[in-house]
Amino acid sequence: MFTVEELRKLDTSKLREELKKAEKELFKIRFEVTSGQSKASHTVREKKIYVAQMKTIMSEPNQKD
Residue type for position 20: K
Report the CATH fold assignment for 4-59. Helix Hairpins (1.10.287)
- The pTM of this model reads 0.85
| Alpha helices, H only, the chain | 4-9, 12-34, 42-59
For helices 42-59 and 12-34, give the axis angle rounded to 10 degrees. Answer: 160
pLDDT (tens place) for every residue of the chain, 65 residues total: 899 999 999 999 999 999 999 999 999 999 999 999 988 899 999 999 999 999 999 998 876 66
